[in-house]
Structure 1
Amino acid sequence: MRQITNSVLMIRPVSFRMNEQTAVNNYYQKVLENVTPETVQFKALQEFDAFVAKLQAVGINVIVVNDRKETDTPDSIFPNNWISFHQNGDIAIYPMFAENRRLERREDIFDILEEKGFVINDIVDYTSAEAEEIYLEGTGSLLLDRVNKKAYCALSPRAEEDLFVEFCEDFEYTPVPFVANQTVDGKRFPIYHTNVMMALAEKFAIICLESIDDKKERKNVLKHLKEDGKEVIAITEAQVNNFAGNMLQVLGSNNTKFLIMSNAAYNSLTKVQMDKIKKYCKIIHSSLDTIEACGGGSARCMMAEVFLPLN
């Protein structure tokens, strides 16, 4: 099994804006005052294209698919929430909290991947859970240690425990559930996605331990990471607010390893944290300021890793 891949699916936005339906429990989203929707879309597109160019320049295989104008999908730029790809040729499709995000799911993307030589064997569809208002938002909710077959999940309104356990049974992962919180106006609320406060790489994990208020849960997460030989790099809640947990390790040309993040995340890291990361891989960072502010997601959310086998 591989933990990291050379191929990522990315969706080029056509009507990106702050999604009012996700803002109810994504406290990282902001309203940009005196900025028109057209300007937001224009800036997001600039950021997206520059980001893709940086990834392609180091040999990462970026499969770019354009969003569709006819569907009102302001968050389509974050495809990792509705789909995940697995090495056995399976695809999982997930139930989404926001109704307008459900329109992001597209079967034509399967055809595009098959045209590029990827093999799809089976589709595991969890979307019927939406009828019961039960959600599990892909690799936003699920942090998969694909080598050690463990799945880490910060439970929230967008990550329901029973469905998480069901996924783990279907895909043969050991579940590691916990609750991660953030402070909003002096109160503690669940962080909406696991991949905002935690990133899992081949040899290390970046995690905001202080967001896991329950000491037993925190201890359990650490135990699993350490027994699998991961170096734990702790980040603060302030760094999480700069998307320092929203990173992804990928392979470039000649199997060179890169950790991908935004400028905001990069600039929030301390020298000690940076040195720890650089022991294992190089860093690529790009300006995603508009996407982060309006979307409440960052670099990792924008990339759906493709682990499917090739013909």
Structure 2
Amino acid sequence: MNQGMTANIDCSVPAKLGKSVQNANCVVMVPPKEFGFNAETAADNEFQHQVSLDANAVKTQAMSEFRSMVAGLRRAGVQVVEFDYPIDVQETPDAVFPNNWFSTTLDGTFYTFPMACSNRQREVRPHALIESLKEAGRQVHATDSLVEYVDQGAFLESTGVMVKDHINKTIYAALSQRCEREALEDYAKRIGYHRVVSFQTALPSGHPIYHTNVMMAIGEHFAVICSEVIPEYERRFVVKSLANTKQVIDISLEQVNQFCGNILQLETVNGDKVIAMSQSAYNAFSPAQRQQLSTHGKLLPFDVSTIENIGGGSVRCMLGEVFLPTRVNSL
């Protein structure tokens, strides 16, 4: 492992070799030790809010929320790789959202992505994370990077902007300054996904959704989407595409503001399905919607209200899925 890098790896239960195509049974989480309001990302993230709390109090609260979430996922049977990093001169206030800078595939490839904001570009630490993943018993056979798109002023923030239907090899993406079409289509070709469904969105302000995963989530047999933010001429096509193979749960813009779209179906190491979400999202789903979701896995709500309110991202943003193959003799 690189000097100064540490990883808290949960090895209490062995990961199964045969995981779901759609759902990861292992996630990367990064402690929010530099967490705070990020003025750079606030330019297009309308879900961020400044608060009057002291900076140290914010970090303490965020860390408490993070620790509770890590513990809850591990209790549920999801393997968590806690990826720590050395504090540098320049802070990375959004490091708690690692899903935006990397992704992994079942064939053992580790990808890195072009981030739109300079202080988020500093989060990209592939070599150290790969070492941590190897210590966690995961195999990395190859690496690939789209970071060179930064030089062209083009960005693609991984599973923040891409919501993947792995079963049908389809990527759904709301276009924005953080999701450039050329980079999106390039990545789809690299991973062998034959279909990209990209679309426009608009909030009441007129600005697009900054990350697709705020208004959309795809599980094995369900999809959550806020169709009202998609222009009418594209809306029907997107919803129909999802409905071909998924139970579609449509959420309102008010529910998006409570992060109902920012949820993630995972698989435990024993093969059970769980759906991670924030307590805010859980409370905002209607009883009927909660019942629908519960047929697809046990609901795991976590109170991450400080991280949500200040960071403008929620539970799904905090989870970097690990689809890498498992070493047979790793644990």
Shared fold, TM over 0.5: yes
Q: Distance in 1 between matches of 2:323 and 2:186?
A: 21
5 Å-filtered alignment, 1:139-288, equals: 139-173=159-193, 174-183=195-204, 187-213=205-231, 215-227=232-244, 229-288=245-304
> Does the 8 Å contact 1:262/1:287 carry over to 2?
yes
Cα-Cα RMSD: 1.1
1:58 and 2:76 equivalent? yes
Q: Distance in 1 between matches of 2:66 and 2:35?
A: 11
Query: Could you give the per-residue CA deviations for residues 166-187 of structure 1, whole angstroms, max 9, x where no partner exists?
Result: 111111211100012211xxx3
Q: Distance in 2 between matches of 1:47 and 1:68?
A: 21
The share of aligned pairs that are identical, in percent, is 37
1:291 and 2:311 equivalent? no
Letter in 2 for 1:258: V
Moved more, 229-238 or 163-172: 163-172
> Does the 8 Å contact 1:13/1:76 carry over to 2?
yes
The residue aligned with 2:143 is 123
For residue 224 of structure 1, report the CA deviation from its aligned partner: 1.6
> Does the 8 Å contact 1:14/1:66 carry over to 2?
no
The residue aligned with 1:103 is 122
For residue 122 of structure 1, report the CA deviation from its aligned partner: 1.6
Query: Could you give the per-residue CA deviations for residues 201-220 of structure 1, whole angstroms, max 9, x where no partner exists?
Result: 0000000000102x232122
TM-score normalised according to structure 2 size: 0.90
For residue 253 of structure 1, report the CA deviation from its aligned partner: 4.5
For residue 131 of structure 1, report the CA deviation from its aligned partner: 1.2
> Does the 8 Å contact 1:67/1:76 carry over to 2?
no
Query: Could you give the per-residue CA deviations for residues 60-119 of structure 1, whole angstroms, max 9, x where no partner exists?
Result: 101111232225110000000000010011111100011000111112110111122211
The residue aligned with 2:9 is none
| SS of the residue 1:62 aligns to | strand
For residue 226 of structure 1, report the CA deviation from its aligned partner: 1.9
Would you say how many aligned residue pairs link Structure 1 and Structure 2? 305
5 Å-filtered alignment, 1:27-106, equals: 27-33=46-52, 35-70=53-88, 71-106=90-125
Q: Distance in 2 between matches of 1:252 and 1:118?
A: 16
Structure 1 segments, 4+ long, off by >4 Å, are none
The residue aligned with 1:301 is 317
For residue 39 of structure 1, report the CA deviation from its aligned partner: 0.7
Q: Unpaired segments of 5 or more residues in structure 1?
A: none
Letter in 2 for 1:155: L
| SS of the residue 2:224 aligns to | strand
For residue 264 of structure 1, report the CA deviation from its aligned partner: 0.6
Letter in 1 for 2:271: N
Q: Unpaired segments of 5 or more residues in structure 2?
A: 1-19
1:112 and 2:132 equivalent? yes
